[in-house]
Amino acid sequence: MIPVLAIPLAAKIAVATTLAAALFGAGLYLGNKMGVSSCYEATIEAQAHSIETGIKQAVVSDKTITKYVDRVQDLQKTSRAIIKEVKVYVKDDTCNLSGSFRLLHDSAANNELPDITRDSDEGTVKAQAVTATDALETVIRNYGICHENSATLSALQEWVREQSAIR
């Protein structure tokens, strides 16, 4: 073995610099390798979370849609059943409502003021009279549509609440 004092100073500095550069390079290599693997692990974890969240959201959507479709079908079935009962409750169908009733009803359904000149204009056909049965069936249909809209809004609100609860 060569005594340390016998090695010239320049050689000692060269060995120390080479050793420091090797250690620095090894540290850089290992740090980069660990940093990249950590980045990959974080990316994989984020993708897994994204997939899990997507699955949960799909389950919520399916559940809400199924519940909504069933509810709307029940509402439509009820409306049809009520319309069938009109003949039972309105026995005297000789009562005709004036054409103005139809115009007023249509204007109200469209949420607009009725055009009072529409019935009396010479160029337009006067509104025909409507039977009480027809008027009642129309009102029942409109109420059914209103209930369907209400069910739609409730289902959408429930869907939004459940989607926002998913993390």
What pLDDT, on a 0 to 100 scale, did the predictor assign at position 143? 92
What pLDDT, on a 0 to 100 scale, did the predictor assign at position 123? 41
- Residues of the chain below pLDDT 50: 121-123, 125
What pLDDT, on a 0 to 100 scale, did the predictor assign at position 119? 53
Give the chain's radius of gyration (CA, Å): 40
What pLDDT, on a 0 to 100 scale, did the predictor assign at position 107? 81
What pLDDT, on a 0 to 100 scale, did the predictor assign at position 121? 47
Q: What is the pTM of this model?
A: 0.64
